[in-house]
Structure 1
C-alpha cells in the first residue's frame, strides 16, 4: 500500500440488480491478528470508528456507536459471520439495511483487508463511500501510528468529489 489517495480509494461497480458494490482494499505489514484486533477490540476501535456493546460471535446482536457521529446513541447491529481472524460480516437493520463484509488475508508478508458493501442503488453512495474512506484512513492511523485523517469538512472537500463528482 502506498500513501497515494488513489491507492486507498474505494472502487464502485454496478450490480446486475441496479445496486452498487463498494470495495476498499487496504494492506499493512502488521500480523493478521493485530489487524483483526484493530477491527474488533473496543479499546482500539474507539480511536477510529466506535464501539460495539453486545453478544460477540456469529449471530450476536448488539449496539454499535460511532465515535465521530454527532448524537449517536448507537445503532442495532447483528454479527452475521465471525471467523477470527479472517472474516467479519455485519448487518444493520432498517432504515439502513447495510451489510458490510470485512475479509483479511495474508499476502507477501502483508495483511490485506478487503472491505465490501453492496448498496441497493446510487442514493447516498457518494457520502457513504467518502465516509467509509475516512473511517478506513482512521484504521490506518490506528495501525501505523500515522496521522489521522483531516476533520470531516476538510476531508469531504478533498475527496468527496471523487465519489460524488456532482457534489457542489
Structure 2
C-alpha cells in the first residue's frame, strides 16, 4: 500500500476527512521527506497548488497530523518547529544526527534501542511505546573549521 493510502486510512479511522488541502499538505511532506520542513516551508510549497490556502490551515493540519501520529513535531535547536514523517513499518520514530556547526541533519533509520526497551520492560515493568533520539555534535569536517556553508545552504562535504 502506498503512503498516501495508509494516511487516508488513518484519517478515516479517526473520523477525519482527507480534504484536498490536507492531501496537498501531506503530498508536500512526502515529496520532501528528508528536508524536515517548517510550517512556513510547507505553506510556501502548498501555496502554488492552493493560492487561497491560509497559513493557519497549514498549522492546524500539521497539528492534526501530529495528533494522528503521521508526523512528529521536532526542534533541532534552531528555534524552528519542523515536521518529520513517521516511517511506515517502524514502531518508533527514526533518530537524527544534528551538526551544531553547519546545521546538517542526518537520519538514522535503524532502531538501536530495542535491547534497552526489553531491559526497561523486564527490570521496571515499563513498556516503551515510542522514543526519539537526537545526537548533537559536529562532523569531522566541521570541527574546528567553522564549517563554511556553500551558497545553497548545504554543508561542504
TM value normalised by structure 2: 0.27
Instruction: Give the structure with the higher percent strand.
Output: 1
Instruction: Give the structure with the higher percent helix.
Output: 2
TM value normalised by structure 1: 0.26
